Amino acid sequence: MLIRPIAKRNGVTVTIIAALFIFSSIISLLTTSADSDNSLYFPLSAGALMIGICLLIVGIVKINDVYYRFSLTKEGLHYFTSRGGFTILWQDIQRIDIPKINDGLELKELPYIGIRLKQREHLINSASLPTLSHMLLEQRALTMLTEPSSNLYGNADNMLFPDIKITHNYHGLQAMFINRMQYLHNTLGYDIYFPNDDLDRTPSEFVQLLREFKTDCSRSL
């Protein structure tokens, strides 16, 4: 089963809106330069042009991203990005849910899907280094949520967890990513996180889909 992200679908829409912004602002700039009475509209037109250019860049990035974000097979969950991907085996998954944080007296759902792992080695070994770098940057916001009083860089990536249970010695990006997973595991309860923009349906529906796939595939083994 292939999963196409919502963000991918929005790429064309964002690009069209950007083109309209750029076209209308250029026309407005040309007309205001010819008529001095409309010079007050020049800053607005220039601002609209900048917004259009920014939206165009965002739209192009979304369009050029991979067509499918996930592939669900009997083996496991396969995750794809423009930089590569990785695989999470169903047998390595302990829990799938929506992570939450305390917000006063209530629990607030985060815009992510969280997966708690029993084993991490297969994920790490199957992931390309550019993918790990991408995930480290993308999940940086999660560490800031758990450290609201930290500085811009925070302290999460400076912490070491010598009790991490792994069977191989890892270095560089792989070691950094394992350390990040352990930190998020300790603070939010899950090892790996996928933003809601990567999904093709509501978070609760996607969680249910993964749970059903995991159950069905585990029975067939």
- Residue 25's Cα: distance from chain center in Å? 32
CA dihedral 170, 140, 138, 186 (to 10 degrees): 60
Comparing 182 with 42, which gets the higher pLDDT? 182
Question: Range of 204's domain?
Answer: 70-220
Same domain, 159 and 192: yes
At 194-205, the pLDDT tens digits run 999 888 899 999
Same domain, 48 and 87: no
Compute the average pLDDT of residues 27-45.
Answer: 64
DSSP E strand stretches across 16-172: 70-72, 76-81, 84-89, 93-97, 100-103, 106-109, 112-117
Comparing 115 with 153, which gets the higher pLDDT? 115
Model confidence pTM above 0.75 = no
Residue 133 CA to residue 149 CA, distance in Å, equals 25
Same domain, 60 and 159: no
Compute the average pLDDT of residues 71-96.
Answer: 90
Model confidence at 10, pLDDT cuts 50, 70, 90, reads low
The pLDDT assigned to 33 comes to 56
